[in-house]
Chain A
Amino acid sequence: MSNEASRQSRTAKLASDLRQFWSEPWFAILTMILAGAILLFIVTPVFAVLYKSFGMDASGFTLDYYREFFSRTYYFDSMMNSLGAAVISTIIVVILSVSISLYVTRSTSFVSRFYRGAALLPLVAPPFIFSLSLIILFGRNGIVTSVINSTFDVEFSIYGFWGVVIAQVLGYFPIGYMLVESTMRNMNPSLEHASSDLGASQWKTIRKVTLPLSQTGITKAGLLVFVMALADFSNPLIIGGGEPFLASEAYLLVVGQQNLEQAAVLGVFLIVPSLIIFIFQTYILDDSGLETISGESGASNAPLSRRVKTVVMTINTLFVSFIILMFVMVVLGAFVKIIGINNTFTLEHFQNRNGWDSLYTSVFVSFVAAILAATIGMLQGYLFARKPIPGKKALEFLTLFGLAVPGTVMGIGYVLIFNGSPFFLTGTVLLIVLNMTFRKIGVGLEASISKMHQIDTSMEEASSDLGSGPYRTFGKVVVPLLSPAFIAGFIYTFMTAMVSISSVIFLIAPGTNLAAVYILNLAEQARVGMASAMSFVLIVIVLSCMGLLKYIEKKTGVSI
């Protein structure tokens, strides 16, 4: 086909797509509203930060703030610290994930299920909870610290770079672990059998077959952990001991010095790596090739040999015990007067008016955001999977991009956009809800799109054959079939919203404090008892919500 002809046929296709798009006007209008919202609540904030970093709308275009960034070692150090901690945390998380996955994917024993449960435990806790328990154990007056200091006569404490690294490893471990485990689980066991059949030892098989085949999954896991650790905001604040990190420094610049321009520059350095990794993951990382070789069902991987098992079990047990110890510390901290010093049982840390208020706000806000995010994700997923929408690839990209933008950048962007006219939304609960919603709609969208691909179009055709118009078909057939995707979007958004901080901390006002932010403040002031008590309640709430959903799932037979 000549260029001219192919252009003509493309124009013709676009025209027919547009006609079809408008043939269901309500869907068309909804799509446009959605597109507008995505642009306003995901894209503009990011651009606002970029714009601001060049000093625009105050002093006109300038590179002063970038110059400042590179000339002040303090700012530059924040970048090096953030990158360094993220790299180290990522490497450790990946090694631990592989180690636990190796065991868990080959055994259904109690120990295996125990490892798995414990490994996923950090999901239900605020990301900074480990900073809190690390302080309880290794802080200036920590239980272990005092022993070390008196035995070795030193001034040890966990505050600083390495404290942040440990907290990040613990906090972001589940994300990496889940990806690595699912990759290894999907791998065809017969490949390993073939390798050992050809005479390779198990070490060799793992090194030459298992790991190379899991490479894409492991890379994905690593990149995700890296992006999250890079954007980490609360751990540096609590346990960083004054060491500068990008996200926390940006926050301090905004609240402490009202220096939005300089904060924006730090934001740009946060977002550039995230953006690169996001694009790399979306367009370059190819997960179609290796691990999808399908296997005969029923076959399972060979159990680990003695030697491998010893190594793996040692690492796993140590790590898992550490996670559990951390949780135990928080629970103990919540129920005793001053942990390590006065260990008498008390409930006084729970008597905290502000704390309960903030919890109430958090539940309310997260619930609304979760409903919104899940609904939008479902609607968008249906429209994107079935309707000829011009530019839908771009919209999908932008929606998923919302997941990748570091919270701090989003928060600063929201401040820049919604503070003044024409919105005047700062300090309102509405803005917090919108922020939580649009940062997470990508999850519901992805779940819905993949669910839609499993639903044969004949389902909708049957409905229209029986006399139903497009909207009724959507309501009566598509929505019920998408309910698993809705629930997935809801759970994810609710859980992450309950414990999210980095973005909303810019948006709260005295009347609208959120539990996670409130706990962060307590932890920063080393008010361990109250912080532990509130964390405990937060964990209980998140866990019960999940339990409730599991119950509904069982009751209604909707699988999640």
Chain B
Amino acid sequence: MSGHENFLKLSHLYKYFGDVKAVNDISIDIEQGELISFIGPSGCGKTTLLRIVGGFHKQDQGSITLDDQAIDQLPPEQRPTGMVFQNYALFPHMTVYKNVEYGLKIEKVDKAEREKRIKEALAQVQLEGYEERKPSELSGGQQQRVAIARCLVLKPKVLLLDEPLSNLDANLRMIMREEIRRLKEELNLTIIFVTHDQEEALSISDRVIVLKDGTVQQLDRPDNIYNEPSNEFVANFVGHANILSGNLAEVDGDTYFKTGKFSFKVEQPSNTTNQDVKAVIRPERIKLDPEGQLEGKIARIVYNGNFTRYFVDIQGEEIMVDDFNAHGLGSYQRNDQIKLSFPDQPHYILEEDVQ
């Protein structure tokens, strides 16, 4: 990555709609060349925050600087940001070429240069040969690419994408994810990517921001968000998690994590000495293991193709366990008695972090 930290700096942004606190004191520093995702449940303020950056909403308070220039008072047409709208917002009465040319004409770029740059932009999104088509004559994925090319051709400093893949089918979504990553690497683009699909966010981003009710819950690398969620909300929102309340206790020199119903052996954690904690254990980290310490009964089975999820009843507490289907169908039945082994380094959430 080319460095320049604090390339895009959002400081203490607020935006209220009446009583709704859509954005409530958000500060984020984004590096140049970074792809950062906003995720969070519907209505948490992702779009609002993105639109504030693009200039389509005026923040109530706070400031935005881009490349050390304050941009928060500029109208959208003067901001060096490029927005790809969820519905693409291609001009239906113009051809692909004209759509991409639109912004260049406004910048009064001369004709030869325009042609060159449009050609280049269309090549970047692999749409050569589609110049004369109307948007209505393109597939969803192609429209998406045109929308991106239309922004890229203006060489924006930041690309803003609001749920750009949500209108595409599952396969195309995968392809476009790769495309966006590739463009980002090739052109060293700085991208803000809004999505409500946590898997998409994890796979595409350099860093992920989890939002809730207009506030930042966690801002971190995807693997850290998944493995070390900062609170229960993040743990539940990103992936599935068993969250066990309990405490750590010493027994004969070993450390145990004890819930009210059962306990299992762990290593002495480094990040907490707190007695009352919550342990976050992802379902795939629990093993169906004949040698396991804990015994339970399979209450329900949900088959998912590449893995099978077992809901296992341990002393009245239901635990999710994912078993990777490396050998075809899962091998257990409902009501089977099985043994489980728990990871000895669960992630702990400190009680005072829990909101």
Contact = CB atoms under 8 A, between A and B. Distances in A.
Interface of A: 456, 458-459, 461-469, 472, 476-477, 480-481
Contacts of B75: 464
A456 B102 contact: no
A458 B81 contact: no
Contacts of A472: 106
Contacts of B238: none
A-B pairs with lowest CB-CB distance, top 7: A466-B103, A462-B89, A458-B89, A480-B93, A467-B106, A458-B85, A464-B76
B77 A469 contact: yes
A251 to B, nearest CB: 46
A472 B81 CA distance: 19
Contacts of B106: 466-468, 472
A461 B76 contact: yes
Contact of B102 (A469, A476, A480): A476
A468 B77 contact: yes
Contact of A467 (B54, B90, B154): B154
Contact of A465 (B54, B86, B92): B54
Given A461-B83, A472-B106, A466 B150 contact: yes
Contacts, number: 61
A529 to B, nearest CB: 49
Interface in B60-85: 75-79, 81-83, 85
B91 interface: yes
A466 B147 CA distance: 11
Nearest to B150: A466
Contacts of A467: 77-78, 103, 106-107, 154
9 contacts: A456-B87, A458-B89, A459-B91, A463-B102, A465-B56, A465-B81, A466-B106, A467-B78, A481-B92
Specify the main secondary structure of chain A where it touches its partner: helix
B83 A465 contact: yes
A481 B86 CA distance: 19
A461 B56 contact: yes
A467 B77 CA distance: 4
A465 B76 contact: yes
A300 to B, nearest CB: 27
Contacts of B82: 465-466
Given A464-B77, A467-B107, A468-B102, 5 more contacts: A456-B89, A462-B89, A466-B77, A466-B82, A466-B102
Contacts of A468: 77, 102-103, 106
A469 B82 CA distance: 15
Contacts of B76: 461, 464-465
Contacts of A476: 102
Nearest to B85: A458
Contacts of A465: 54-56, 76-77, 79, 81-83, 151
Given A458-B85, A466-B154, A481 B93 contact: yes
B93 A462 contact: no
A465 B150 CA distance: 10
A468 B55 CA distance: 13
Contacts of B92: 481
A8 to B, nearest CB: 14
B87 A458 contact: yes
Contacts of A464: 75-77
A477 B91 contact: yes
B228 to A, nearest CB: 37
A416 to B, nearest CB: 45
A256 B3 CA distance: 90
Nearest to B81: A465
Contacts of B107: 467
A190 to B, nearest CB: 29
B99 to A, nearest CB: 9
Interface in B112-161: 150-151, 154
A459 B154 contact: no
A416 B177 CA distance: 70
A461 B93 contact: no
A153 B43 CA distance: 84
Contacts of B83: 461-462, 465
Nearest to B102: A466
A468 B77 CA distance: 6
A463 B93 CA distance: 13
Given A467-B107, A468-B102, A462 B154 contact: no
Contacts of A461: 54, 56, 76, 83, 85, 89
A400 to B, nearest CB: 28
Contacts of B79: 465
Contacts of A462: 83, 85, 89-91, 150
A458 B87 CA distance: 8
B189 to A, nearest CB: 16
Nearest to B93: A480
A463 B54 CA distance: 12
Contacts of A480: 91, 93
Nearest to B156: A465
A472 B93 CA distance: 15
Nearest to B54: A465
Contacts of A456: 87, 89
Interface string B89-110: 1111100000000110011000
Contacts of B151: 465-466
Contacts of B56: 461, 465
A456 B92 CA distance: 12
Contacts of B77: 464-469
A284 B313 CA distance: 61
A16 to B, nearest CB: 10
Nearest to A456: B87
Contacts of B91: 459, 462-463, 477, 480
Contacts of B81: 465
Contacts of A459: 89, 91
B104 to A, nearest CB: 9
